[in-house]
Amino acid sequence: MELEGRGAGGVAGGPAGRSPRESALLDGWLQRGVGRGAGGGEAGACRPPVRQDPDSGPDYEALPAGATVTTHMVAGAVAGILEHCVMYPIDCVKTRMQSLQPDPAARYRNVLEALWRIIRTEGLWRPMRGLNVTATGAGPAHALYFACYEKLKKTLSDVIHPGGNSHIANGAAGCVATLLHDAAMNPAEVVKQRMQMYNSPYHRVTDCVRAVWQNEGAGAFYRSYTTQLTMNVPFQAIHFMTYEFLQEHFNPQRRYNPSSHVLSGACAGAVAAAATTPLDVCKTLLNTQESLALNSHITGHITGMASAFRTVYQVGGVTAYFRGVQARVIYQIPSTAIAWSVYEFFKYLITKRQEEWRAGK
């Protein structure tokens, strides 16, 4: 490879004419892999590393090209578990605020007041009831979710826009990944939301699972699946397209950059959450089968999206479709920020360790 005679920022002179600093920089460049582009892709031309002022902070390199499916699954599982565990109390408030006919003792003005009253009247750990089943479901659900997304995003982008980023590919990959995520997560969602409701008769996950199975059958765990998909497919399409769009502006070289991942994830989650709140209200009704709504308007169980939409309107009118929108947006902003930042960190960390291990063999 001809390195002599390059312009500013290149390496001038042959091996004999290089200073020790230039030799060290060139060796580091070659060890990391000549021609690797930002974000782990292949660049069209070989580029030397950017020299950095020692006082300017850490040098976050581009994600290495060797990220595997296993890496995406492990990083996704960790991100999903942390996201749901950290934000679980807000999720509990959201479920209650989406109630169509709440008990007078469970009418809340805002998220903070709701959280304070739940803790004061029902105990410190009441907002955390059902966390264990959520964490159990979130691990495999998010592992499948991120692994599928990464694989399809790359495959579809290579077809639609070779060598570049395609918003259509991002949205389509997010939609397909949602099918796997919701299939794994839906039973946990049913149990979780029933345990979160005010005056829930269930104190343990096993009690709830047994009661639902015996009284409503195995199908109850997937009664809201089609509605969940109807909500999550547009949610994830908006979410991923917004995230990738913001990354192009805040992090165009697609390097590991924590601040850009947090900001992009938070904005993407807020936009998608606000747009899909009516569907989330219907999903909550299908999961909880709220008794007051059932007694007021229909007999039996509410099944299907059309029935849920009709019941919500009959009970509360148009405004009922936006119950809990404040809690949903407040939940999603830090939730997606945590998910993306943790996912990108573990993806970066695991891949770097794998490369170091292979280099040391």
Average pLDDT over every residue of 67-78 = 91
pLDDT tens digits, 249-284: 998 888 888 999 999 999 999 999 988 888 888 888
DSSP character string of 222-236: GTTHHHHHHHHHHHH
What is the number of other CB atoms lying within 10 angstroms of the CB of residue 66?
A: 14
DSSP character string of 193-219: HHHHSTT-S-SSHHHHHHHHHHHH-GG
Q: How sure is the predictor about 9, in pLDDT bands with cuts at 50, 70 and 90?
A: very low
- DSSP 8-state assignment for residue 61: P
Q: Which of the pair, 79 or 7, is modelled with greater confidence? A: 79
Domain boundaries, the chain: 65-353
Reading the block at residue 68, the tokens are: 């595997």
Strand partners, 42: 36
CATH topology of domain 65-353: Mitochondrial carrier fold (1.50.40)
Task: Assign 255 to helix, strand or coil.
Answer: strand
Q: Which of the pair, 90 or 58, is modelled with greater confidence? A: 90
pLDDT tens digits, 12-35: 444 445 555 455 544 554 444 434
What is the number of other CB atoms lying within 10 angstroms of the CB of residue 358?
A: 9
Asked if 324 and 110 count as a contact pair (C-beta separation under 8 A), the reply is no
Say if residue 54's pLDDT is above 70.
Answer: no
The whole-angstrom separation of Cα 12 and Cα 344 is: 36
Mean pLDDT estimate for the chain: 80
Q: Which of the pair, 300 or 302, is modelled with greater confidence? A: 302
pLDDT at 11: 39
Q: Which of the pair, 106 or 50, is modelled with greater confidence? A: 106
The whole-angstrom separation of Cα 132 and Cα 143 is: 17
Q: Which of the pair, 27 or 319, is modelled with greater confidence? A: 319
Name, in order, each residue with C-beta under 8 angstroms of 257's C-beta and a sequence gap of 6 or more.
60, 250, 251
CA angle 321, 291, 125 (to 5 degrees): 85
Q: How sure is the predictor about 237, in pLDDT bands with cuts at 50, 70 and 90?
A: confident
DSSP character string of 33-52: -TTBPGGGSB-SS--PPPP-
